[in-house]
Amino acid sequence: VAGTTPVRFWEFFVAHFIGTMKVAILDAYLGSLLLQAATESSRLEEQTRGAVIIETVALVAISAFVTTYATNVFTSILAEEGFKKED
């Protein structure tokens, strides 16, 4: 996709970096909570563990939805350009 748009390389790089930082920080935070829950389960209350599980399930569900949506959009863009999906 980069190269098919009139966006310059550095603009794309900066926008991509900023966009992925949010996900990277969120993944690091949730990973830290999960590791802490696994290693120090006596310090965490049951509600905190439940919140971590709910957040993890929500993150996986949102990631699956976004991936599916992005794939469908990209496929429709390719179809408009004349490329057909090979089975």
Q: What is the pLDDT of residues 60-75, one digit of tens each?
A: 888 888 888 888 888 8
Q: What is the pLDDT of residues 7-39, one digit of tens each?
A: 777 777 887 788 788 778 888 887 887 777 667
CA distance 58 to 12: 28
The pLDDT assigned to 2 comes to 56
Mean pLDDT for 35-54 is 70
Residue 72, classified by CB atoms within 10 Å of its CB into exposed (0-12), middle (13-18) or buried (19+), is exposed
Is pLDDT larger for residue 4 or for residue 74?
74
Q: pLDDT value at position 43?
A: 57
User: Could you tell me the sign of the dihedral formed by the alpha carbons of 65, 69, 74, 78, in that order?
Assistant: positive
Which has more pLDDT, 77 or 85? 77
